[in-house]
Structure 1
């Protein structure tokens, strides 16, 4: 569910955002992803990336959505409600795997 770029988003308190992002970080680490917590910013961000390509990743924030707090991608897409951790992990993983796959296929194309 995309959010228009000019839409004002309601943000949780920093401690709430950190708690929700920490839950997601633990679950993504169990799946083998590398996470970098960037909580010193005004808006807490969780950076998730493939260990072999730290330049290729996704930045996740928390925002208000239909029925509560949602995980939001750097593109503005609402990934999943924070109450559905499994769905959030699945969506983040799907996006990152596509990028990693594209990176690998473009690398093999360059070599031939």
Structure 2
């Protein structure tokens, strides 16, 4: 569900956002992805990176979506409801796989 990246969206309380982002971070880390929790910012966010690719990644926040809180990519795309972390993981991995493939670097999404 694409929305403009600069569109104003409702945000949960910081503690709610951190809890949801931690769930996503743990799921990504189990698959070999590198994550950086940025919770001191005005809006908590999770930076997701490939382990061997410096400077290439995505930022994920928690935002209001259809029927509740959703994981939202820095592209503005609503990835998945926070209740479906596995779908969010799949969509983050797919998006970043496409970006890394465009650079010609080889990576398997099940781990390094």
Q: Tell me the TM-score normalised to structure 1 length.
A: 0.89
1:16-95 → structure 2 map (5 Å cutoff): 16-95=16-95
Deviation larger for 87-96 or 6-15: 6-15
Provide the alpha-carbon RMSD of the alignment.
1.1
Separation (CA, whole Å) in 2 of partners of 1:54 and 1:19: 27
Q: When you count helix as a share of all residues, which structure comes out higher?
A: 1
Contact 2:60 2:72 in 1 (8 A): yes
Larger Rg: 1
Closer/same/farther in 2, CA of residues 69 and 98 from structure 1, 3 Å limit: same
The question of 1:14 aligning with 2:14 is answered: yes
Q: What are structure 2's unaligned runs of at least 5 residues?
A: 106-112
Q: Distance in 2 between matches of 1:61 and 1:37?
A: 11
> Higher relative contact order by CA 8 Å / sep ≥ 6: 1 or 2?
2
In structure 1, runs of 5+ residues without a counterpart are 106-112
- How much does 1:4 deviate? 2.9
Three-state SS of the structure 1 residue aligned to 2:54 is strand
